[in-house]
């Protein structure tokens, strides 16, 4: 894969970081637990903020396959670059900007995990790009408001995963979901897509 394509995606995401709008990643350890934990443990040595989305006994039992929230600071371009280069085609992570503190972001995301299915409560694996692309565009207006909350925008790989195809951006505009095809490799502007164009589970 083109190193320049990965570098362009990394640079684009890095440019979204501001003091008021930090960039976060939700990293799914279930996709490649050993490689991901190596990255996260190295990040911890630099005091990067991270925490599992799961809580209590579940967090301990499923630590090796849990999703982890990671705050990517302006000084953390190396970690961001590694996540993109190693995990972009492997569905390791989704990225988002959020104007509040790490703990607030963690609490917000935990509210998005439970999903009711008939008489059962399941786990909504929205942090898997394949699940996100499939389900989020089908949400109604209320579900979108609850899911996004104060989150400004999500970014994730397109269905192909090819870095040369750029990334997808999801944001609410006038209470409507806008999906954008962003290609920093070609330095192109946003191209709005219909929800059906974004496709690639709920457990």
Supply the DSSP symbol for 19: S
Closest by CA to 88, choosing from 187, 167, 200, is 167
Entry pTM: 0.88
> What is the predicted pLDDT for the residue at 188?
54
So where are the chain's domains?
Answer: 3-198
pLDDT digits 0-9 by tens, 133-163:
999 999 999 999 999 999 999 999 999 878 8
Buried b or exposed e, range 171-189, using 16+ CB within 10 angstroms: bbeeeebebbbbbbbeeee
pLDDT digits 0-9 by tens, 95-116:
999 998 999 999 999 999 988 7
């Amino acid at each position: 894969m083109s190193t320049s394509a990965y570098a362009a995606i990394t640079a684009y995401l890095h440019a979204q970081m501001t003091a008021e709008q930090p960039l976060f990643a939700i990293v799914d350890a279930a996709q490649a637990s050993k490689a991901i934990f190596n990255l996260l443990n190295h990040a911890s040595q630099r005091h990067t903020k991270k925490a599992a989305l799961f809580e209590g006994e579940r967090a301990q039992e499923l630590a090796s396959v849990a999703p982890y929230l990671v705050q990517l600071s302006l000084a953390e371009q190396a970690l961001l670059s590694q996540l993109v280069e190693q995990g972009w085609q492997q569905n390791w992570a989704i990225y988002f900007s959020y104007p509040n503190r790490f703990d607030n972001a963690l609490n917000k995301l935990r509210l998005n995990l439970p999903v009711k299915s008939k008489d059962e409560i399941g786990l909504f694996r929205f942090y898997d790009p394949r699940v996100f692309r499939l389900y989020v565009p089908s949400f109604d207006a209320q579900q979108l408001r609850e899911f996004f909350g104060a989150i400004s925008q999500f970014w994730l790989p397109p269905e192909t995963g090819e870095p040369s195809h750029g990334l997808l951006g999801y944001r609410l505009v006038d209470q409507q979901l806008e999906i954008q095809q962003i290609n920093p490799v070609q330095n192109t502007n946003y191209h709005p897509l219909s929800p059906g164009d974004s496709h690639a589970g709920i457990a």
